[in-house]
Amino acid sequence: MESSHQKELLLCALKHFDIEIVNAAGRKVILRENTYISMADGPQFHLWEDGRREATFTDVVRLCTYIKTQLGWNEKKRVENSGTGE
């Protein structure tokens, strides 16, 4: 798959899953919270978090599902640790 088609597929999937995109330049798509996706040939999508590779995917649906699950967990964790008692 050409890298331009790979990127279009990724951007479309991220939009469909309501995953916010901060910047999409070159072969890198930056998400929130120090998270980004780099694209390699294959197609392969590498998910990076805090400067380390978290996971590699060949399926954008699985990638987006993983992101939603991880980001959802992080949001709950932040609320639990906020001290509000809610």
Number of domains into which the chain is organized: 1
Residue 71 confidence (pLDDT): 66
Q: Is residue 65 part of a domain?
A: yes
Q: Is residue 29 part of a domain?
A: yes
Q: Is residue 86 part of a domain?
A: no
Q: Is residue 43 part of a domain?
A: yes
Q: Is residue 85 part of a domain?
A: no
Are the beta carbons of 82 and 70 closer than 8 angstroms?
A: no
CA angle 36, 55, 13 (to 5 degrees): 55
Q: For the whole model, what pTM was predicted?
A: 0.77
Residue 29 lies in domain: 3-80
Q: Is residue 15 part of a domain?
A: yes
In this predicted model, what pLDDT tens digit does every residue of 24-67 receive, in sequence order? 989 999 998 789 999 988 789 999 999 999 999 999 999 999 99
For the chain, first and last CA: distance in Å?
A: 47
Q: Is residue 50 part of a domain?
A: yes
Q: Is residue 76 part of a domain?
A: yes
